Every structure is written in C-alpha cells, then in structure tokens.
A = this chain, B = another copy of it.
Amino acid sequence: MTTIKDVAVLAGVSFKTVSRVINRSPHVKEDVRQRVLRAADALEYRPHHHARHMRTQRSKVFGFLSDDIATTPFAGQIIQGAQEAAFRKEMLLLTFNTGGNAAVEQAAVEMAIERGVEGIIFATMYHRAVQVPKDAFRLPLVLVDCFSPDRSVRSVVPDEVSGGYSATKLLLEKGHRRIAMINANQKYPAAEGRFRGYRDALREYRLTIDPELVRLGGWWQDDGYEQTMALLKLKQIPTAIFCASDRIAMGAYDALKEQGLKIPGDMSVIGFDNQELLAAHSRPRLTTISIPYFEMGSWAVERLTNTAQDSDESPIRPVALPCPLIARSSVERPANRKLRNKDSAHIR
C-alpha cells in the first residue's frame, strides 16, 4: 500500500509538502505541485487512501454535514436514504447541522476528520451552489442537492428540468392549452430548471409562452394566493396552473376556492416537491412532482463506498436524478371549454 511518505520520497519533497498539495493549499509552487501529483499518480496513490491508511483500523463512519436539512420538512429523507444505504454497508453517519454557517462548517469538518471519518457527505436543504470547507477535500466527498460552482466535486441533484417538463406534459396530455406557471423569482436551479421544463413541454406542442401566464413571486402559500388572484383577473384565464412548489399550490387552492372555482373541475393544479403534509392531505389531493431526496441520500453513500468508480473526469458534472410524477386528484381535462374561451371570464 502506498503511503504519503512513499510519495514524498519519490517526489523528493517533505511529508508536509505532499500534505499541502493534497489539501489544496495555495502555498505550494506550481512545479512542486506538479511533481507531487506525478509521483502520486505513478504510485497510484489517492488522497483518501491516505486518510484511511493513516489509522490502524477503519472507523466505518461517514460525516454527514447539512445546513438546515434536519429541521425542515423538505429533506429529512436525504438523511434516511443515506442512513439506510450506510446501514447496509455497516457504516454509520456522524451528523452535523451547521445552519449554513461557514465557521461551523469548517469546525464540523475538522471534528469529523479528527474522529477518523472515511468520507464526507455535504447536503443542503435546497438545490444550490455551495462553497465547501477546504479541509473536506482531504477525504472522499459527495455533495447532495447542491454543487460546487467550479465543478471540482462529485454531486447529485434533482433533475428540475425533467420535473417541470413532466408536470406541464401531463397538463398538455389532458388537453390543456392555456397553462399558467407560478414560479419563484429567483436565480436558483429549482426555479430556472422547472421553468425550462415548462417551456420545453409547451414547445413540443408548438405553443408559445404567454408572458401574462408566467407569474413570479416567492415559494410560499401567500405567493401562490396572490399570483392566482392575478391570473383570475386576466381577460382569458388559464385552465390549469403549474405551481413551482406545493406551498404555492396550497395558496392557489385558497384563492380558487375563495373565488368559488372547483379544483380540478374549473381549474387543474399541479405542484412540485411532494411535501406529504400538504400534497397528500389537501382537498383535493394534490398531483405533484416528487424530489428524489431519499435516492440522492442513498446515491451519495453508494458513491462513497465505491471509490473504484472514481475517475479523473474534470470538470465533474452533477448527476441529476429523475423527479417522478405523483398523480393524485387535482388534474383533469378542461371540462368547461366555454369558460375558457369566453372573454367574460373575469371572476367576481
């Protein structure tokens, strides 16, 4: 087994210099860095082997760092997916809730490394770009529901585009042609990807986007309520609404019911997220798109336990897992075509 000392000897540098290169310290001259990397390659040395072989026995523990994941209803399933996969491999998770604070994240990584974890999973409560604490690179590392902007780290994310596409496609297949989208006004991958899916599905049906049907606000119930009220004031109201979150859909429900419209009889509604507390218990049950939290958690652990898959691929593209359609009772074909085509479609 190759040790860090073998690499140091072959590269003709000190142990500390090799360590600096592994830890991506900026304080190493480029030619020295190249020499160390060539030596490491020649000896088939991998940094994570280092961390593992430094100890006399394996800890069989992964560090699981998350921002607010454990405290949101969104993504506890990431933990469950990771834990079940870890359990099958007789691995355990040491969990850290960092609250997204960079200093806490740094401390958590140090504590995890001190305790000999064999790899680190770094998860966020919503799909976004992250800055990973530098020390985390000393170990095998996988990002969940987030990605590194420089694409230097393996990561798994939801396929937002295909989710938005499936939602819109369902409405199109049911016969809807005037389909609104209530989205969040943010540059996050969730908002952008879900919109791209909406656009792609409309294009497939040779429909152009009607800008007055695309409503932008926040992710919450109040936003859904306000934007739906705005849609209902249009000369020609839509027959279906694709909401970028189940929370938005709940606000749309409130507005539609308040205006005396039946769901799905007068208006079909589809959500995104499959938050059980909302989608599975609303009246009517909400048809929505599920985010593969559980699968992303499992994937991360499987990936960490199978480093044989590691390659020198660079940049590393995030793996996008599918977002399945969960069919419930809030979508049907547009029944009242007259209403849809009348100019007098104002409600109250």
Q: In the complex, what distance in Å separates the CA atom of A57 from the CA atom of B275?
A: 44
> When the two chains form the complex, which single residue of B95, B111, B247, B282 contacts A221, counting CB atoms closer than 8 Å?
B282
B97 touches A95 (CB 8 A): no
Within 8 A of B (CB), among A38-88: 59-61, 64, 70-73, 76-77, 79-80, 83-84, 87
Nearest B residue to A275 via CB reads B277
Q: Indicate whether A278 reaches chain B with its CB closer than 8 angstroms.
A: yes
Provide the bound-state CA to CA distance between A258 and B60, in Å: 55
Asked whether any CB of chain B lies closer than 8 Å to the CB of A302, the reply is: no
Q: Which of B115, B254, B278 contacts A92 (CB 8 A)?
A: B115
Which residue of the partner chain B has the closest CB to A63?
B92
Contact in complex: A111, B83 (CB < 8 Å): no
Q: Are A96 and B83 in contact (CB under 8 A)?
A: yes
- Among residues of B, the one whose C-beta sits closest to the C-beta of A90 is B111
Contact A94 B277 (CB under 8 A): no
Closest 5 CB pairs of A and B: A73-B73, A221-B281, A71-B76, A70-B79, A95-B95
With an 8 Å Cβ cutoff, the count of chain A residues facing the other chain is 42
Asked if residues A220 and B281 are in contact (CB atoms below 8 Å), the reply is yes
Per DSSP, are chain A's interface residues mostly helix, strand or loop, or mixed?
helix
Q: A70-B80, A96-B83, A277-B278 are in contact. Are A115 and B61 (CB under 8 A)?
A: yes
Using A70-B76, A71-B77, A275-B277 as known contacts, list a sample of 20 further A-B pairs with CB atoms less than 8 Å apart, ordered by residue number in A. Answer: A60-B115, A61-B115, A70-B70, A70-B80, A70-B83, A71-B80, A73-B73, A73-B277, A76-B76, A80-B97, A83-B95, A83-B96, A84-B97, A92-B115, A93-B95, A222-B281, A247-B277, A250-B281, A254-B283, A277-B278
A221 near B115 (CB under 8 angstroms)?
A: no
Task: Please tell me if the beta carbons of B111 and A225 are within 8 angstroms of each other in the complex.
Answer: no
> In the complex, what distance in Å separates the CA atom of A96 from the CA atom of B225?
39
Task: Indicate if A174 sits at the interface (CB-CB under 8 A).
Answer: no
A278 vs B278: C-alpha distance when bound (angstroms): 8
Residues of B close to A247: CB separation below 8 A = 277, 281
